[in-house]
Structure 1
């Protein structure tokens, strides 16, 4: 693959490089940066985080203090969440007059998560491209369905974040009281008039920008995003099976929560933590996944370890928990990615065989004629 990239950039004549294509070089560098910068940032944060923990103690915990039955159950629940996502997507596509098989949709969803492990956000593009080609749909149609799906998931996460904050407000207050410097800093930030003056200036600037500078490239891009979000929202409202769509959404997010919660039971020292503690971990972990790093490696671990410290869990236990809970789901995604690779390859072989059979059949009919 690397040699193909090099050949596409440089013109080679009789073993001599005679010139290069700056546009292609720019694209190559962009692709490399998209892959390596998030990877290096995540790896650096992960290394920094665990370099301050006792890795020998974490190793002992992983070997002798974990009931891996609950980890396996967490992986099964994670698999169910991906299947529910595929079934929900099927409802959206039916609204567009397309009814793909569940197998095709699960392949698209599994492949999306596997691709995102390589390059953040690329999985969504692959998912759109795969289904658009398979079902002979326009890329824009498939993308519209994913935008509406993401909008629904974002609203769900915002709702869960607000609910968790209010339910666990006392816990957060008690935690901040242990660190008076942080509490004082937050209080100063909230009470200073400069914060609200800056917000007013920012709002005024945005209003001016979007009303007076409509031809600006960034303004046009933001307007396009807002337009797509509104289109996605209308698509959900116009669905014939809105109730089923909402039920699948609840099922997806319940599975996301449950796959983390059951991991508590794998650790003897964490079994006392309840549903609300799991909600706090779940919300903080979900928010950290918004950072474009492969698999959330680094940010997710930091969020989970920080959240567990609120409930008095030691840093080594918290570090082991983050490793196992995250690692098991990454293992699941890798296995599903391998399955998708073979499944899509078999699909292509069948399509080629069917195309060849149709060609041979048409030739025979012509010969007989």
Structure 2
């Protein structure tokens, strides 16, 4: 037990250190006066609109989660109860990465008597669906901003020389691809009992199982609709903030979509609340879109900072509400 706690403390310390270092490295040259001036000059109608939309998004996420919770034992989970648990989860994630997923499940186990195993299973389904939507959003951003994607790739690799090389050696390239696929297959077969291989296989099994379970829901249409709505809300949250800041007010909807994709990738990094990684990726893509480096970094700080404040305020409020609810007790049948 002591060894496990020590390992968790070390992981948390490393995560905090990495996040702090990235944030410091990114903002070491930004004067605090510049940030304050940008905050004052921003159109707060749009920023407050963004926060309102984000709050609706958290409720929709709670509603979607409640559609997945079908265990007959315990008290039925309402969308409002699921929303409060989701907010507590986001609040905990600010302190310990990924711990919020377990925390929100534990909350409903206490208040509604739903088994922790069932709740964790529903979270896995959620995460599987969100991963698919993230990949789909990345592909959509590529389709609408393919020129920018190709320009970014060409900065890293000479795409023309690469394509010419592949075409001139097409039989060799295809043969190499076949050998690579065969090699991966043999590795997975040879080391099928290895922990890493088992984790990879388990990951894909969870995704496949999660997708199959959607069709068995009482309201599969509502689940799919809410999943689409969640990602639309992500976009509107980013778009309204962009309208409220002078340096990004002229970005097109497709460019904002690209910024949202980069921010989403930054948020899934294993650091507290995406601190540092979110700022770095959002600022990087804004610079590519013609926004100055300073304005790009300040934009990232404003949208991330306001969202953190939203989670802190409403997360604490939800925690207070759930703490006041008595723990669920199984009815005495005799």
Shorter-chain TM-score bucket reads 0.7 to 0.9
Query: C-alpha displacement at 1:330, in angstroms?
Result: 0.5
Q: Paired residue for 2:284?
A: 306
> Quick check: 2:63–2:80 contact (8 Å CA) kept in 1?
no
Give the whole-Å Cα distance in 1 for the aligned partners of 2:224 and 2:34.
44
Q: 1:164 to 1:216 in 2, by over 3 A?
A: same
Q: 1:233 to 1:312 in 2, by over 3 A?
A: same
Query: C-alpha displacement at 1:50, in angstroms?
Result: 1.0
Give the whole-Å Cα distance in 2 for the aligned partners of 1:142 and 1:343.
20
Q: Deviations over 1:167-207 (max 9, x none)?
A: 1112344567xxx75353x6667757899888666543432
Asked whether 1:82 is paired with 2:58, we answer yes
Q: Which of 144, 153, 156 is matched with 2:121 structurally?
A: 144
Asked whether 1:182 is paired with 2:156, we answer yes
Asked whether 1:115 is paired with 2:89, we answer no
Asked whether 1:282 is paired with 2:256, we answer no
Give the whole-Å Cα distance in 2 for the aligned partners of 1:231 and 1:333.
31
Q: Deviations over 1:86-118 (max 9, x none)?
A: 111111113x44731233211210011111111
> Quick check: 1:144–1:228 contact (8 Å CA) kept in 2?
no
Asked whether 1:132 is paired with 2:109, we answer yes
Q: Give runs of aligned pairs for residues 241-280 of structure 1, distance below 5 A.
A: 241-280=219-258
Q: Which has the larger radius of gyration?
A: 1
Q: Deviations over 1:122-174 (max 9, x none)?
A: 11111222223333232221112111111111111111111111211123445
Q: Paired residue for 2:272?
A: 294
Q: 1:330 to 1:216 in 2, by over 3 A?
A: same
Give the whole-Å Cα distance in 1 for the aligned partners of 2:161 and 2:106.
49
Give the whole-Å Cα distance in 1 for the aligned partners of 2:8 and 2:15.
12
Q: Paired residue for 2:21?
A: 44
Provide the alpha-carbon RMSD of the alignment: 2.8
Q: Deviations over 1:308-360 (max 9, x none)?
A: 11221111211211111110000011112211221122113xx49x99xx99x
Query: TM-score, with normalisation over the residues of structure 2?
Result: 0.87
Segments of structure 2 that go 5 or more residues without pairing to the other structure are none
Query: TM-score, with normalisation over the residues of structure 1?
Result: 0.80
Give the whole-Å Cα distance in 2 for the aligned partners of 1:305 and 1:199.
36
Q: Which of 299, 306, 330 is matched with 1:328 structurally?
A: 306
Number of matched residues? Answer: 326
Q: Paired residue for 1:164?
A: 141
> Quick check: 2:107–2:322 contact (8 Å CA) kept in 1?
no
